[in-house]
Structure 1
Amino acid sequence: MTKTLTVILQLLGLFYSHFSFSQSSEKVTLNGYVKENGSGELLPGVNVYIKEKGVGTQTNKYGFYSITLNSSEIVTIIYSSVGFQTETRTLKIPKLLELNVNMTPIARELEEVIVKSNATEQQKVSENVQMSQLSIPIQQMRDVAAFLGEKDVLKVLQLMPGIQKGSEGNSGIYVRGGGPDQNLVILDDAPVYNAYHLFGFFSVFNGDALKSVQLTKGGFPARFGGRLSSVIEMQMKDGNKEKFHAEGGIGAVSSRLTLEGPLFKNHKASFLVSARRTYLDLLIRPITKTNDDDSGYYFYDLNAKLNYEFDNKNRIYLSGYFGKDQFHTENVKTFETSKSGLSWGNSTGTLRWNHLFSEKIFSNTSIIFSDYKFDISNDNINSNTTPSSEYHLKYSSGIRDWAIKFDLDFLPNPEHTIKAGLQLTHHRFTPSAILVKDTDSGKYKNETNPINAVESGLYLEDIYKPWKSLQINGGVRITQFSSNEVSHYNFEPRISTAFMLSNDLAVKASYAQMNQYIHLLSNSGTGLPTDLWVPSTSKIAPERSWQLAGGVAKDFSERNLSITLEAYYKRMNRIIALKEGSSFLLEDGLGNITKDKDQETPWDKNVTIGDGKSYGFEFLLQRKTGRFSGWIGYTLSWTSQQFEELNFGKEFWAKYDRRHDLSAVGIYNISPKITLSATWVYGTGNALTLPTSISPSGQFLQTTDSENTINYTNNYRSRNNFRASPYHRMDASIQFHKKLKRGFERNWTISIYNLYNHYNPFYYEIKTRITNNPATGSPEKERYLSQISLFGILPSFGYSLKF
Structure 2
Amino acid sequence: MKNYRIVKFIALIWLCIFSQQNKTLGQEILRQTVKGTIIDQDSNAPIIGANVMVVDSDPILGGSTGIEGEFRIENVPLGRITLLITSIGYENRIISDVLVGAGKEVVINASLEESLVKLDEIVIKDKENKSVVSNEMVQVSGRTFSVEETNRYAGTFNDPARAVSSFAGIQSNAEGSNHIVVRGNSPNNIQWRMEGIEIPNPNHFADEGSSGGSINILSGRMLTNSDFYSGAFDAEYGNVLSGVFDMKMRTGNRDKREYSIGVGILGTDITLEGPFAKGGKSSYLANYRYSTLGLLDNLGVVDFGGVPKYQDLSFKLSFPTSNAGLFTVFGIGGLSTIKDEIKDDETDELVGKDDFSASMGTVNLGHTYFLNNNSSIESFLSFSQNGSGYELQEKEGNLDTYKKTFDDELNKYTLRAGTSFLSKINAKNTLRTGINYHHFIYDFKREFLNNQDVFETWLDDDNDTGMIRAFATWKHRLNKDWTVTGGVHYTNLLLNNSQTVEPRASVKYQLDETQSVFAGFGLHSQMPSLTAYYSIIEDQQGNETRPNLDVDLMKAIHYVIGYDRMLSENLYFKTEVYYQDLYDIPVENDPGSSYSLLNAVDGFADRALVNEGSGTNYGVELTLEKYFSKNYYFLLTGSLFQSKYKALDKVERNTRFNGNYLTNFLFGKELYLGGSKNKVISLNTKISWTGARRYTTVDLEASNALGRVVYDEANAFSERGDDVFKWDISCSYSWNKKGTRQEINLAVQNLTGNEAVVDQYYNSSSNKTETSKQLPMFPTIMYTLEF
**Fold agreement, TM-score > 0.5:** yes
SS in 2 for 1:181: helix
**8 Å contact 1:285–1:296 — kept in the other structure?**
no
Question: Are the aligned partners of 2:643 and 2:655 in contact in 1 as well (CA < 8 Å)?
Answer: yes
Kindly indicate whether residue 240 of structure 2 is the aligned counterpart of residue 227 of structure 1: yes
1:489 to 499, 505, 508: 499
Deviations 1:23-73 (CA, angstroms, capped at 9, x unpaired): xxxxxxxxxxxxxx958765xxx6x7xxxxxxxx5277xx63569xxxxxx
| Residue 143 of structure 1: aligned partner | 152
Give the AA of the match of 1:145.
A
Structure 2 residue aligned with 1:349: 363
Equivalents in 2 of 1:566, 1:549: separation in Å? 7
Deviations 1:378-424 (A, max 9, x none): 899xxxxxxxx999997411322101111221012111121111111
Are the counterparts in 2 of residues 462 and 475 from structure 1 also a CA contact under 8 Å? Answer: yes
Q: Which amino acid aligns with 1:175?
A: V
Deviation at 1:507, TM superposition (A): 0.9
Tell me the CA shift for residue 717 of structure 1.
Answer: 6.2
SS in 1 for 2:171: strand
- Aligned pairs for 1:384-783 within 5 A: 395-432=408-445, 449-483=461-495, 486-519=496-529, 538-556=549-567, 558-576=568-586, 603=606, 605=608, 609-626=612-629, 627-645=631-649, 649-671=650-672, 672=677, 673-690=680-697, 718-741=715-738, 743-764=739-760
Q: Which residue of 1 aligns with 2:160?
A: 153
Please say if 1:800 is aligned against 2:784: yes
Cα distance in 1 between the residues matched to 2:317 and 2:131: 36
User: How big is the shift at 1:204?
Assistant: 2.3
Task: Report the secondary structure of 1:450's partner residue.
Answer: strand
- CA distance in 2: counterparts of 1:100 and 1:371, whole angstroms: 37
How many equivalent pairs are there?
A: 651
The offset of 1:122, in angstroms, is 4.3
Report the secondary structure of 1:177's partner residue: coil
Give the one of 381, 394, 407 matched to 1:367. Answer: 381
Is the Cα contact below 8 Å between 1:66 and 1:360 reproduced in 2? Answer: no
Q: How does 1:88-99 map to 2 (within 5 A)?
A: 98=67
Distance 1:424 1:730 in 2: 44
Q: Specify which of 131, 143, 149 is matched with residue 140 of structure 2.
A: 131
- Contiguous gaps of at least 5 residues in structure 2: 1-31, 85-93, 98-123, 207-212, 343-351, 395-401, 533-545, 598-602, 703-709
CA contact (8 A) 2:218 2:332 kept: no
Q: Given residue 639 of structure 1, which amino acid in structure 2 is its aligned partner?
A: S
1:706-727 CA-partner distances (Å, limit 9, x unpaired): xxxxxxx997762222222221
Q: Which amino acid aligns with 2:759?
A: Y
- CA gap of 1:322–1:404, structure 2 versus 1, over 3 A, is same
Distance in 2 (CA, whole Å) between partners of 1:733 and 1:799 is: 13
Say which one has the larger Rg.
1
Separation in 1 of the partners of 2:654 and 2:294?
40
Please give the TM-score of this superposition, normalised by the length of structure 1.
Answer: 0.72
Residues 511 and 256 (structure 1 numbering): CA distance in 2 closer, same or farther, change over 3 Å? same
> What SS is found at the alignment partner of 1:424?
strand
CA gap 1:570/1:112 in 2 versus in 1, 3 angstroms:
same
Q: Secondary structure at the match of 2:218?
A: coil
**Residues of 1 paired with 2:694 and 2:392: CA distance?**
36
- For residues 605-657 of structure 1, the C-alpha deviation after alignment (integer angstroms, 9 at most, x for no partner) is 27785111100001112234322224211111100011015xxx311011111
The aligned counterpart of 1:72 is none
**Alpha-carbon contact 1:504-1:554 (below 8 Å) kept:** yes
| Contact 1:41–1:237, Cα closer than 8 Å, also in 2 | no
Instruction: Name the CA distance, whole Å, in 1 between partners of 2:320 and 2:174.
Output: 45
Q: Which amino acid aligns with 2:617?
A: S
Whether contact under 8 Å (1:166, 1:656) holds in the other structure is no
Alpha-carbon shift at residue 188 of structure 1 (Å): 2.9
Unaligned runs of 5+ in 1: 1-36, 49-56, 68-75, 92-96, 289-293, 332-337, 381-388, 523-534, 585-590, 593-601, 697-712, 768-783
* Cα contact 1:636–1:660 (8 A) shared by 2: yes
Are the counterparts in 1 of residues 264 and 292 from structure 2 also a CA contact under 8 Å?
no
SS at match of 1:430: strand
1:279 aligns with 2:279: no
Q: CA deviation at 1:306?
A: 1.1
Deviations 1:64-88 (A, max 9, x none): 3569xxxxxxxx9566999x99998
- Distance of 2:73 and 2:296 partners within structure 1: 42
2:187 is matched with which residue? 180
Distance change in 2, residues 1:418/1:65 (3 Å): farther
Q: Distance in 1 between matches of 2:624 and 2:454?
A: 66
Whole-Å separation in 2 of the counterparts to 1:320 and 1:265: 24
Distance 1:198 1:538, change over 3 A: closer
**What is the aligned partner in structure 2 of residue 323 from structure 1?**
334
Structure 2 Cα separation of the partners of residues 433 and 285 of structure 1 = 33
Q: 1:670 to 1:116 in 2, by over 3 A?
A: farther
CA distance 1:104–1:656, change in 2 (3 Å): farther
Give the conservation status (yes or no) of the 8 Å contact 2:587–2:596: no
Q: How does 1:47-58 map to 2 (within 5 A)?
A: 58=41
Retained in 1: the 8 A contact 2:46–2:69?
A: no
Cα offsets for 1:339-395 (capped at 9, x unmatched): 964211111111011111111111211001121111245899xxxxxxxx9999974
Decide whether aligned partners of structure 1 residues 766 and 406 sit closer, same or farther in structure 2, where only a CA change above 3 A counts: closer
Q: Are the structure 2 counterparts of residues 752 and 59 from structure 1 closer, same or farther at C-alpha, using a change threshold of 3 Å?
A: farther
**Counterparts of 1:563 and 1:494 in 2: how far apart (Å)?**
26
Deviation at 1:561, TM superposition (A): 2.2
**Residue 207 of structure 2 corresponds to residue 197 of structure 1:** no
Deviation at 1:583, TM superposition (A): 13
C-alpha contact 1:137 1:624 (8 A) present in aligned 2: no
In the alignment, residue 689 of structure 2 is paired with which amino acid?
Y
Which residue of 1 is the match for residue 346 of structure 2? none
1:208 partner SS: helix
- Give, in angstroms, the shift of residue 297 of structure 1: 3.4
**Corresponding position of 1:217:** 230
Distance in structure 1 (CA, Å) of the matches to 2:279 and 2:191? 38
Q: Distance in 2 between matches of 1:798 and 1:349?
A: 29
Q: Deviations over 1:301-348 (max 9, x none)?
A: 1101211111276111011111011124799xxxxxx99642111111
Structure 1 residue aligned with 2:126, among 121, 125, 145?
121
Distance 2:660 2:393 in 1: 47
Q: How big is the alpha-carbon RMSD for the aligned residues of Structure 1 and Structure 2?
A: 4.5
Residue pair 2:35, 2:70 contacting (<8 A) in 1 also: no
Cα distance between partner residues in 1 of 2:762 and 2:440: 43
| Alpha carbons 1:116, 1:559 under 8 Å: kept | no
Correspondence list, 1:231-380, <5 A: 231-285=244-298, 296-311=307-322, 314-328=325-339, 341-376=355-390
SS of the aligned residue for 1:64 comes to coil
Matched residue type, 1:101: E
The one-letter code of the counterpart of 1:132 is S
Assess if the C-alpha contact under 8 Å between 2:596 and 2:647 holds in 1.
no
Does the residue aligned with 1:236 lie in a helix, a strand or coil? coil
